[in-house]
Amino acid sequence: MALKITHECINCDVCEPVCPNHAIYQGIEIYEIDPDLCTECVGHFDKPQCQTVCPVDCIPLDPAHAETPDQLLQKYRRLTDLGGVTKA
């Protein structure tokens, strides 16, 4: 499932640069996450980097975009042009 940023966001700017998929962007009021690009860092890291660096813990799972770990891995492969090739 993709992540989302809640209104507790303080716009500290630490989450955007750590996102390997460039899914985080500045919205009208707070940072936002594009669910089509968010893989919860599957394929890149063991834990979502935005959650790791967020000082106010405002990046929960987004129940509106539920995905299994396999679906997240497939999204990662699609976004990185790996298709069915497993990263060594």
Cβ count within 10 A of residue 88: 3
Question: Does 86 reside within a domain?
Answer: no
Phi, psi of 80 (to 5 degrees): -105, 10
Question: Does 3 reside within a domain?
Answer: no
Cβ count within 10 A of residue 51: 17
Question: Does 46 reside within a domain?
Answer: yes
Question: Does 31 reside within a domain?
Answer: yes
The residues, any chain, with a CB within 8 Å of residue 34's CB and separated by 6 or more, are 23, 24, 25
What is the spatial distance between Cα 35 and Cα 3, in angstroms, rounded to a whole number? Answer: 7
Parts of the chain with a pLDDT under 50? 85-88
Instruction: Identify the domain containing residue 42 by its residue range.
Output: 16-79
How many structural domains is the chain composed of? Answer: 1
What pLDDT does 83 receive? 55
What pLDDT does 68 receive? 95
Question: Does 84 reside within a domain?
Answer: no
Query: pTM for the complete prediction?
Result: 0.88
Q: What is the CATH number of the domain that holds 42?
A: 3.30.70.20
What is the spatial distance between Cα 32 and Cα 46, in angstroms, rounded to a whole number? Answer: 22
